[in-house]
Amino acid sequence: EIVLTQSPATLSLSPGERATLSCRASQSVSRYLAWYQQKPGQAPRLLIYDASNRATGIPARFSGSGSGTDFTLTISSLEPEDFAVYYCQQRSNWPPYTFGQGTKLEIK
């Protein structure tokens, strides 16, 4: 089973700042990595798939990069609605599909 480790656990930033979230895989997942956003009381929402493809309707301030074992989600300029929990997920070696433990992006 591929283990995904996200860092940091919590990221405190202010609106307008740049956010950089990391996800590291226990073995190579090629580019088969996705990012999801989850707000309190809501279902997750797909942001990025195949490491760098934005899902439909996702603003351009969200971007993904990386391959192999190291991946990054970047939010170029934080909007108030971006404060949430973010999860990475792999589909390279399944079952099972696995998720990281999440990074909470909170307002500083």
16-24, 49-57, 61-69, 70-78 -> range binding other proteins (CB under 8 A): 49-57
Whether omega for the bond prior to residue 96 falls within 30 degrees of 0, making it cis, is: yes
Cβ contacts of residue 33 below 8 Å, gap of 6+? 23, 25, 50, 51, 64, 66, 71, 88, 89, 90, 92
Q: Considering the rule CB under 8 A, would residue 98 count as an interface residue with other proteins?
A: yes
Question: Amino acid identity of 68?
Answer: G
Q: Considering the rule CB under 8 A, would residue 71 count as an interface residue with other proteins?
A: no
Site for other proteins in 51-70 (CB under 8 A): 55
Length in residues, the chain: 108
- Smallest distance from other proteins to CB 76, Å: 22
Q: Considering the rule CB under 8 A, would residue 91 count as an interface residue with other proteins?
A: yes
Q: Considering the rule CB under 8 A, would residue 13 count as an interface residue with other proteins?
A: no
CA–CA separation, 106 and 93 (whole Å): 32
Q: Considering the rule CB under 8 A, would residue 36 count as an interface residue with other proteins?
A: yes
CA–CA separation, 70 and 64 (whole Å): 11
Binding residues for other proteins (CB under 8 A)? 32, 34, 36, 38, 42-46, 49-50, 55, 87, 89, 91, 94-102
